[in-house]
Amino acid sequence: MKIDIVTLFPEMLTGYLGQSILKRAQEAELLTIDLHNIRDYAAGKHQITDEPPYGGGGGMVLKPEPLFAAVDAIRSQDDQTKSEKVILMTPQGRPFTQAIAKDLSECERLIFICGRYEGVDERVRQHLVTEEISIGDYVLTGGELGAMVVVDAVTRLLPGALGAEGAAETDSHATGLLEGPHYTRPNQFRGHLVPEVLKSGHAANIKRWHREQALRRTWQRRPEMLLSAELTEDDRRFLATLAHESAAELTGNDNN
Ligand code: ADE
If the chain, 256 residues long, is cut into consecutive pieces of 10 residues, what is the mean pLDDT of each piece? 97 96 96 98 96 93 98 90 93 97 97 91 98 97 97 97 76 89 97 98 97 97 96 97 92 67
pLDDT for position 163:
79
CATH superfamily of 2-156: SPOUT methyltransferase, trefoil knot domain (3.40.1280.10)
Catalytic residue among 132, 171, 179, 212: 171
Q: What angle do CA 31, 112, 78 make, to 5 degrees?
A: 55
Which of 134, 144, 148, 152, when mutated, tests ligand 1's pocket best, judged by the most ligand atoms within 8 Å of its CB? 134
pLDDT for position 135:
98
Q: Which residues line ligand 1 (CB under 6 A)?
A: 89-91, 115, 134-136, 138-140, 142-143, 146
Q: Beta partners for 4? A: 34, 111
| CATH class of the domain whose range is 188-255 | mainly alpha
Instruction: Let me know: does 134 contact 90? Beta carbons within 8 Å.
Output: yes
Q: What are the start-end ranges of the H helices in 177-232?
A: 203-221
CA distances (Å), origin 187, targets 180, 183, 238: 18, 9, 27
Report phi then psi at 59, rounded to 5.
75, 180
Instruction: Let me know: does 219 contact 207? Beta carbons within 8 Å.
Output: no
What tens digit of pLDDT does each residue of 106-158 get? 999 999 999 987 899 999 999 999 999 999 999 999 999 999 999 999 999 99
Rg (Cα) of the chain, in Å, rounded? 24
171 is catalytic: yes
Q: Ligand 1: distance of its center to the CA of 193 in Å?
A: 42
Ligand 1 nearest atom to the CA of residue 136, by list position: 6
pLDDT for position 85:
97
Beta-carbon count within 10 A of 147 CB: 27
Cα separation, 7 vs 11, in Å, equals 9
- The pTM assigned to this predicted structure is 0.92
Q: Looking only at Cα atoms, what is the longest distance across the chain?
A: 81
Which of 6, 145, 149, 151, when mutated, tests ligand 1's pocket best, judged by the most ligand atoms within 8 Å of its CB? 145
pLDDT for position 205:
98
Same topology between domain 2-156 and domain 188-255: no
CA distances (Å), origin 106, targets 94, 110, 138, 173, 235: 18, 10, 28, 18, 31
State the pairing for strand pair 32-37/2-7. Answer: parallel
Q: Which are the contacts of 242, defined by CB distance < 8 A and separation ≥ 6?
A: 215, 216, 219
Catalytic residue among 118, 152, 212, 235: 118
Domain boundaries, the chain: 2-156, 188-255
